Each structure stands twice: as structure tokens, then as C-alpha cells.
Chain A
């Protein structure tokens, strides 16, 4: 591991100023991904700016019914928060389906959104990877690509975003509060992560050195009928091979509102706007849910080993929405 300096900033402004002045510095939050990548030699910062003691660890119920989640709120505290369990079960479920109890006690809200892909070629410094080292090629494109993207990949990168939390936040239209050298700014979660395109080394739309300070959830009464379904290779403690976050609001049988997002299919959490369009205003049925998933996945381009992700994503869409519909009727 490369030697590094360590700094604990007094406030957000100082943290951002230090990153702006130090081109090889990185923020350290829970460390569950960064420290591991430093051991692997994938990330080599020469200065760690520890943001875990900044006053960013509160969950605040907003007057309009929404929720403001500080960036250093731990995954376990967020999943256990009464307002999250009551008003945004999709968020609690996504958090509880992720990692293990020990990791959730460390991992933070902001860090989760900025975690790196678990593409094994990215994590192996002996392999070509345009994300880790631009211009070196992509060993995954024609390698073992079972776990990688089916939507929106580029010839330079087929990585997926590994987060469960981000998928739930995409469905909930979350807003990310960030602090840049110029000051604070709001970024819709849907605009936070990038497609790989020509620059897979850039995973978010944030300028280098930007600090996430909070995530805001708008009030969404329909989210009381929401859930998260994750499919993985073992019963617990594994990354998704497919996942869906869903909010369903029925007026009788008719879909009044629906929010859908997919995980493990693309370089970013995948909000399924096309599927939502198919569903909205129509009487709900499992057949309708299947047609909606097909509409969303129409432009998918599976790789050699991951074609199964299409029927899988379709199946979990149907099952999850059908269960939410049955729950609403009973």
C-alpha cells in the first residue's frame, strides 16, 4: 500500500478546500470499499481526509414529510430509523439486503453512493481496465462477464454499479446535497451517476473533490407500499445479480403511480421510466408488469455470459409488483 498522510478536517469547507489543493487526496468515510481497494493497489491516495467526525450524521424528518439523511449516517442506523421503516420500506429493505451487519455498522450513506464497481477485472491490477487505468483496454468485455452490464455499456467498459441503496434512492427521486469548492449544490440522484461512454474512469457527474453532505428524500406517501427484491448467488451477504426497487400506488385496480428502478444491470442505478410509462393509468395485472419490463429491457445488449439477467429482471419485476398489488388490495 502506498504511504499516505492523514487529516481530520474541522468542517465541510476545510475538507473541500484540502481536496481542491491536493490532487491525490481522497475522502475517507466508512472505508469498507476504499481501504480494501488501497490494499489491492487499485486506489493509491497520498492523503486521506477523514470526514467521519464532521457533523453530517443526523436523520431529520422534514416539515413537508420528506427526510434528510446526513452523508455519514451509517447504513445500519438508517435501516433501523423508525421513519425509514414506516415511510420508505424500499429503502430499509435495500439497506438490509446489502453487505453484512459488521459492514453496515461502518458504511455510510454518501460512501455507498460513491463505491466502486465490483467488476473483478477492475479489482485486479494485473488485468486491463479502462476504468482503473484509462486507455489500457477492457478485459471484461470478452472475459468472464456474467456479473456485468446488459444496458448502456460502452466498448470501453461493461461494469455495473454495485449499490443496493442507490437503486432504492433512484426509485424515490432522492436529491443529493453536495459541497463543491464554489459552495453547496443539489444534484438529483438520477443525474449523479454516469454512463461509461468514452470515460468509464468518471463514475459520477461530480467534480473531483466534491463532498456529499446529505441525501434528501421527497415526501412520497405511496412509498409506504414499496419494497426491494434482490437476487444473489447465496442467501445473504453477496452483491446482486439482479434487483428491483418498486413503489406501487393503485386506485382500485388502476396504477395511479409507480416507481421502478433496477440494480446490477448498468453502470448506474437504472430508473425504469419506460416501464413506469407502460404501467401508469392501466389496470394492473402480472401480464402488464411483464410487458412493462420488456419495454424497459428492449434495448438491452447482453454479453456472452449474462443473458440470464433479462428474464431474471423481468421475473422479479412481475413478482415484486404483483406482491405489492396484492398487498394493496388486502
Chain B
């Protein structure tokens, strides 16, 4: 459903903007058609193809990245809004020859089959563990005023924004649980 009923193109500079923001600690400056999403900017302009386009409507989570440290869906963010902000993608979670603890846990627990949703799952889990560390409750937290305990039910609820059509869910939960308890 990209582009709606008709595709309209423009090179009109009224409809473009100069945008400067940080991606994986590097400053990037681009001229973008205002319609360009963060996801398309990463994949088509910056060569960062870790974040995936699944549904392109904010429903599947495979495009998840961290924006100023928070997990977000990059398909619903217009890149023109990002001036001065900071994005981390799955490529930025660890150096080129190493794995972050979450990535290592996903490998150890076989937490994927086809792998398409995996970068989104890992970025989402990274953001989610920080939310837990900040004491944020979830829909399944019993006592809203107490610090959240990361049970399997909590992990499942908090990761509900990421679909895995291979249904590797039990292994994803195990990988996140291990990372949470050993970090």
C-alpha cells in the first residue's frame, strides 16, 4: 500500500528539507523529500538495511530503532522531523566484529528462523529493558506503584509490538529473559 492510491512525485524544493541528525554516533546531513520516512532514509539513503520494512503501517515492529534512546517504529516517523536528534539502529548496538549481549542471547537461544523480524526484535528488546530499568509498568503489571518484575508474562506483553511470523516467540522470550538477568 505504499504511496496510497496514486503515486505523486516531486523535486520541488518547497517539498524538500535539509535535515541533520545522528545515526549510530555519526552525524548525517541530507536533503530529503518531506515524505521520506526514517525507515526509507536508513535503508535507501544511508545503506543501513538492518531495520526491515514489514507492514509499513506501524503494526509489525520489524522497523524498530532507537530514537534518543527510546524504541520507536521508523516507518511512521518522517525523517524531516528529526533535525538534531539521535538514532541507533541494530548496526549501532555493537562494533562490526562483536555482538551486544542481546544479540549473543538471540544466537544462543536460536531466537529466530528466517531472521526478518530479528533486528526489530533486538532493538525493541533493548529499548524495553531500559523501560523496565526506569521502573515503567506494563498492562500486566499487578501493582502499578511497585517496581516491575520482569516475568515471562511481562516480557510477552512488553514485546507485543513485534510480530514473528516464524513464531520463534518462546526462544525470543528466553533470550530476553537471559539478557535481563545477566546484564
Which B residues from 132 to 170 make CB contacts under 8 A with A? Answer: 134-139, 141, 144-145, 156-162
Residue of A nearest to B71 (CB): A102
User: Is there an interface contact between B76 and A101, defined as CB atoms closer than 8 Å?
Assistant: no
CB distance from A259 to the nearest CB of B (A): 18
Decide if B14 is an interface residue (CB 8 Å cutoff): yes
Q: Please give me the residue from chain A that is nearest to B14 by CB atom.
A: A5
Assess whether B78 is in contact with A39, with CB atoms less than 8 Å apart: no
* Residues of B contacting A35 in the complex (Cβ-Cβ under 8 angstroms): 37, 76-78
Is B35 close to A, CB under 8 A? yes
In angstroms, how far is the closest chain B Cβ from the Cβ of A169?
Answer: 17
Residue of A35, A40, A86 with highest tally of chain B CB at under 10 A: A35
Whether, in the assembled complex, B95 has its beta carbon less than 8 Å from a beta carbon of chain A, the answer is: no
Contact residues in B for A102 (Cβ distance below 8 Å): 58, 61, 64, 71-73, 124, 127, 161
Evaluate whether A3 and B161 lie within 8 angstroms (CB atoms) in the complex, with A85-B137, A106-B76, A236-B139 already known: no
Complex Cα gap A248–B131 (Å): 31
A1 and B8 contacting across the interface, CB-CB below 8 Å: yes
Task: Report how far A167 CA is from B64 CA in the complex, Å.
Answer: 29
Provide the B48-69 mask, 1 if CB < 8 A to any CB of A, else 0.
Answer: 0000000011100100100100
> Distance in Å from the Cβ of A326 to the closest Cβ of chain B?
15
CB distance from B139 to the nearest CB of A (A): 4
CB contact under 8 A between A39 and B160, given known A1-B4, A76-B131:
no
- Majority SS at the chain B contact face: loop
Contact yes or no, A31 B139, CB < 8 A: no
| A interface SS class | mixed
**Complex Cα–Cα for A40 and B6 (A):** 10
Interface centre among A3, A36, A40 (most CB of B within 10 A): A3
- Residues of chain A within 8 A (CB-CB) of B1 are 39-40
Contact (A101, B137) CB under 8 Å given A6-B34, A85-B144: no
Q: Does A105 contact B (CB under 8 A)?
A: yes
CA gap between A216 and B117 in the complex, in Å: 40
CB distance from A82 to the nearest CB of B (A): 8
Task: Assess whether A62 is interfacial by the CB under 8 Å rule.
Answer: no
Give the residues in chain B near A165, CB-CB below 8 Å.
Answer: none
A100 to chain B, nearest CB (A): 3
Answer whether residue A135 sits at the interface, using C-beta atoms and an 8 A cutoff: no
A200 within 8 A of B: no
A101 — which chain B residues lie within 8 A by C-beta?
Answer: 71, 124, 127-128, 131, 158-161
Instruction: Tell me whether A3 and B3 are in contact in the complex, defined as CB-CB below 8 angstroms, given that A39-B57, A76-B131, A237-B161 are known contacts.
Output: no
Mark interface residues in B111-141 (1 if CB within 8 Å of A CB, else 0): 0000000000000100110010011111101
Tell me, in angstroms, the Cα distance from A32 to B58 when the chains sit together.
Answer: 7
Give Cα A106 to B82, complex, Å. 13
Among residues 147 to 184 in chain A, which have CB atoms less than 8 Å away from a CB atom of chain B?
A: none
CB distance from B130 to the nearest CB of A (A): 11
A86 to B137, CA, bound (A): 12
Q: Is the CB of A39 within 8 A of B34?
A: no
Bound-state Cα–Cα, A100 to B3, Å: 24
Closest to A84 in B: B144
B65's closest neighbor in chain A, by CB?
A: A102
**Residue pair B135, A80 in contact (C-beta under 8 Å):** yes
Q: Is the CB of B34 within 8 A of A4?
A: yes
Q: List 26 A-B contacts (CB under 8 A).
A: A1-B4, A3-B12, A4-B35, A6-B78, A6-B81, A28-B78, A32-B73, A36-B57, A39-B3, A41-B3, A76-B131, A79-B136, A79-B137, A80-B137, A93-B139, A96-B137, A97-B139, A99-B161, A100-B162, A101-B127, A101-B128, A102-B58, A102-B71, A103-B76, A236-B157, A237-B161
Interface residues of A (CB under 8 A from B): 1-6, 28, 31-32, 35-36, 38-42, 48, 50, 52, 76, 79-80, 82, 85-86, 89, 92-93, 96-97, 99-103, 105-106, 125-126, 235-237
